[in-house]
Amino acid sequence: MPSLAPVRSADSPASWDADATELIDWFQANRDRLPVESFCLWPGAWVVDAALFYRSLDGDIASAPEGPRGRYGGLAHDLKCLRKAYCLLEPECRLCTRAVGAAIGTGELIMQQLGIKEIRDNLADALNRVAYAGERVVLARRGKGVAALVSMDDLDLLEKLEDEADVRDAKRALAEMKRKGQKGTPLSAVKKRLGMK
């Protein structure tokens, strides 16, 4: 098996490091005999269950080499996450939030910005990048971002962070009122003011 040395960030296969190209060639030649689920995300980028892939290397996950890093890391951007319950419970790890590995072949990419026409012409590819690789795609109109495609994991995380911020703000406001000896407005009075029953 070739070395799993880190690769540079790149948008196209032509600019990948030789190690990444060698790794892709090796994986494509051997994937039928490996106990991994895989599918093509886009040419040259294969999504694999990283834990199963490492287990296929004689089950010696602790000594397996570290793969290319980044959201599109070859096998994992951080091998320690695979040593902990096979990449299942590491909330800060983008790979672990999906409970499987990531794509082979590219380095970390910045958030991609696509025009509305590009999105319309390549919607399936954009959705695959978002859903399976965790990429965030900004939709632009006249060069200005107007919306974004993000994974459900990212949306859930954003909503959780917003909820936590709301609770913190509410607790801070209640503590301030208590400190000043102020009384809050009863819910019944708020409902009456808003014309609610």
pLDDT 10s digit of each residue in the chain, 197 long? Answer: 333 333 333 333 443 344 445 555 555 565 555 443 333 333 333 334 444 444 444 444 444 444 332 223 333 333 333 333 333 333 333 333 332 333 333 333 335 677 888 888 878 878 887 777 777 788 888 888 888 888 888 888 888 888 988 898 889 988 999 999 988 888 888 888 888 87
162: number of Cβ within 10 Å: 10
Are residues 101 and 50 in contact, defined by beta-carbon separation less than 8 angstroms?
A: yes
Give residue for tokens 């098996």: 1
Backbone angles phi, psi at 145, to 5 degrees: -65, 130
Instruction: Specify the pLDDT at position 137.
Output: 83
Instruction: Indicate the residue type of 161.
Output: L
Q: Domains in the chain, please, with CATH?
A: 13-104 (no CATH), 112-150 (3.40.1620)
